[in-house]
Amino acid sequence: MQRDLEGTRMVITGANTGIGRVTAIELAKRGAAVTIASRSEEKTRPVIDEITRAGGRADFVALELADLASVRRCAEVLRGRDEPIDVLVDNAGLAGQRGLTAQGFELTFGVNHLGHFLLTTALLPLLERASERRAPARIVVVSSVGHYRAKPIDWDALRRTTATTTGLPEYQTSKLCNVLFAKELARRLGEGRVHTYALHPGVIASDVWRSVPWPIRPIMTRFMRSTDEGAETSLYCAASPECASHTGRYYDACREKEPSKLANDPALARELWSRSEAWIADFAIR
């Protein structure tokens, strides 16, 4: 196994299970020091132990993406370490779960987009610092092919509880927001020190579907790919030299792919950014 990532620091959200777990283990094998940001230290401990037994380095920081106060504390902990971050993988997500976040946003949108928006923008100074010593730092946003099915964003619906029984339309909207965020962030950062990537990991039988009601869930996951296969594109975007000079692009099966028409709308991306920025600023004032 090549150790080409020696001396780098990777932060991965939700890496206690699924494709995030595989991504963390594989990056650690290549020499990266990995920080896993997730809800439960107890559930994350087996991943950290597996990495350390293999001679790698990993640690835990608490993160509840459904609560912006927790997201802010997580960012403060990481900034307090004063250590550059070479790669941030916005991996954590949920689907099929209904409800509201602590600040009153539709739950799937709040976890999959808004929590990651706050975390990522708060950590930008550490990512920019990493780029001063190595190749451009990377922000990898795990989206989904589901974004192609998303309808135009109903902004009012993002401030109400999940409306549908399955939560899948809300999931599709959140995944559209992931691609829009990566593209707008790339536009704002330019071709400089931090590059962004959005990706579809494949249709994966992972814990992201744990809240989809029975009997829909077993039917959905029966023919899905494994988490090992699902991590391939995350690893490609996080560490492959082939895409090191790219930014603001969308990937599927380790290849660049054209995202949906909505995801390619720069005006929509700017509006999502503006609203997200206002929402987290409003939370900070409160």
Q: Name the one residue in this structure whose structure tokens are 């309808």.
A: 151
Per-residue pLDDT at 209:
44
pLDDT digit string (tens) for 181-202? 999 999 999 877 899 999 999 8
Both tokens assigned to 251: 């990937």
Please state whether 224 falls in left (phi above 0), alpha (psi between -120 and 50) or beta.
beta
Per-residue pLDDT at 220:
45
Rounded Cα distance, 61 and 24, in Å: 14
Please state, in angstroms and as integers, the Cα–Cα distance from residue 144 to each residue in 61, 101, 250, following that order.
26, 21, 10
Q: Is 250 a catalytic residue?
A: no
pLDDT digit string (tens) for 215-258? 655 544 444 444 557 789 999 999 999 999 999 999 999 999 99
The active-site residue, picked from 148, 171, 236, 250, is 171
Both tokens assigned to 229: 């296969």
pTM above 0.75, yes or no: yes
Residue 77: pLDDT band with limits 50, 70, 90: very high
Per-residue pLDDT at 227:
53
pLDDT above 80: residue 1: no
Instruction: Give percent of the chain above pLDDT 70.
Output: 90
The dihedral built from the CA positions of residue 251, 255, 189 and 80, taken in this order, carries a sign that is: positive
Q: What is the mean pLDDT of residues 23-50?
A: 97
Rounded Cα distance, 95 and 86, in Å: 28
Per-residue pLDDT at 284:
74
pLDDT digit string (tens) for 3-21? 899 999 999 999 999 999 9
Per-residue pLDDT at 216:
54
Contacts of residue 20, defined as CB under 8 A and 6 or more positions apart, other chains included, come to 12, 13, 14, 36, 89, 91, 92, 234
Q: What is the mean pLDDT of residues 34-49?
A: 97
Residue 213: pLDDT band with limits 50, 70, 90: low
- For the chain, give the mean pLDDT: 91
Both tokens assigned to 64: 């509840």
Residue 117: pLDDT band with limits 50, 70, 90: very high
Residue 2: pLDDT band with limits 50, 70, 90: confident
Residue 28: pLDDT band with limits 50, 70, 90: very high
Q: Which helix (H) or strand (E) holds 69?
A: helix 68-80
- Residue bearing the bigger pLDDT, 125 or 135: 125
